[in-house]
Every structure is written in structure tokens, then in C-alpha cells.
Chain A
Amino acid sequence: GQQVMQIPQYQHVQEGEDFTTYCNSSTTLSNIQWYKQRPGGHPVFLIQLVKSGEVKKQKRLTFQFGEAKKNSSLHITATQTTDVGTYFCAGPRNYGQNFVFGPGTRLSVLP
């Protein structure tokens, strides 16, 4: 079945540094979603990408969907301590099926 992988598993950055997490799927995705889970919290939806090559921005966060729709990335510019948490990507297992989540990238930001 379809697998969603994320790298890196962990990332420690100094406040102010940039951060990028990558999401890769073994199959083509119709769309991809990104979620953030703060420590001790629950996943919260960030964004959805649908089109090939799509790029969306939310303040310091930039999301990109690959041309082949098999990979995606989340880039944070000038990290802040409020960015701490685990970032998950999620995509449909197969067309029309429910989403499967990647293992997540846990971000730590040192002040």
C-alpha cells in the first residue's frame, strides 16, 4: 500500500534559523495536507495542496507540492520558539480513500 515518509525525523535549530521538512510518497497523491502538533497537544490542520507544483505561503511558512505530486515540503523562515512541535504530512492512501499520515518531523527551536 501507499506509504508516506518524512525526513528528517528530528531537527534542532537555533532561533532565527530556517527549517525544512520533506514528505515523500510511494505513489502519486491527489492532494496533500500538512498538520502541526504542539507538545502535549493535538494535530491542527495547516494547509492543503492540490495542484502539481503548487506553492502556498502562510506568513513565514512556505508549502510546496512537487511537479509529480509525489513529494511535498514545508519551509519555515527565521524560526521562532512558537514553531516548536511535530509537523505531519498526510495524503490519501489511494484515490478516494482516507488519509495516511507520515511519521512527522519533530522541530525543536533553541532560544
Chain B
Amino acid sequence: ETGVTQTPRHLVMGMTNKKSLKCEQHLGHNAMYWYKQSAKKPLELMFVYNFKEQTENNSVPSRFSPECPNSSHLFLHLHTLQPEDSALYLCASSQDVQGLSNTEAFFGQGTRLTVV
């Protein structure tokens, strides 16, 4: 629909599990983002990639590990998560990094993550 596809849509994992979230954009954009959205906090920017290079890490715990093999794909590797990490994880992309170009962000439908 939006040109940004996230898989899986839902994920339940134990605190000792390792899992990965995948994001793919078909818009030819250069910048990609990971956001966390929980009930108690507004959209939190986690990571920013521009031309495959990480340009921002907003003090995210190391149990979240991003990977951007090319401008179209973005992964978020998860390990030893805590129940408070349960949230909706949204991927987004924009033509260029938003702060520099003021372009709009296109969001994927998100992965609803539950840590048990």
C-alpha cells in the first residue's frame, strides 16, 4: 500500500529468543528509519540510515541491533528483550534524511511485538 513493507506483522517472543524484523521499501528512497510506538510514549525515533550508513542512534539499548545492507532493506535484530520492549515497531523511509530535505516520511504497517 504505502511502498514500505514490514514483516512479520505480529511477533511474540520470549526474553531469551533472538528474532529479526524486516523492512523493505520500493520507493527508491535514500533514508530509512526505525521508530518505536508504545501506549505510554509518543513515536520514538530509534535509528536513522542514509545511503546505508547509520546517521543517528537515539541511545537505544544494545539489545536492539539495526542492519541496513542496502538502501531498500532495513532490519532490526532483537535479542534478550524485556517485557517493556513490547510495542509497535514502525519502519519508515523518505527521499532524503528528513532534517536536511524536509521530505515526508512513508511508514510501513508496523510489527506488533510482544515480549513474554
Contacts and interface: CB of A to CB of B under 8 A. Distances in A.
Contacts of B100: 96
Nearest to B48: A98
A59 interface: no
Interface residues of B toward A: which range?
20 to 34
Interface stretch (B69-77, B79-87, B104-112): B104-112
A30 B109 contact: no
Interface stretch (A10-18, A63-71, A72-80, A99-107): A99-107
Given A45-B105, A88-B43, A103-B42, A98 B98 contact: yes
Interface residues of A toward B: which range?
20 to 34
Contact of B45 (A44, A50, A98): A98
B45 A31 contact: no
A92 interface: yes
Contact of B43 (A50, A97, A101): A101
B98 A101 contact: no
B97 to A, nearest CB: 7
26 contacts: A31-B102, A33-B104, A33-B105, A41-B109, A42-B109, A44-B2, A44-B107, A45-B104, A88-B43, A92-B99, A92-B102, A94-B99, A95-B99, A96-B100, A98-B33, A98-B48, A98-B56, A98-B98, A99-B98, A99-B99, A99-B105, A100-B45, A101-B42, A101-B45, A102-B42, A104-B42
Interface of B: 2, 33, 41-43, 45, 48, 56, 90, 92, 97-100, 102, 104-110
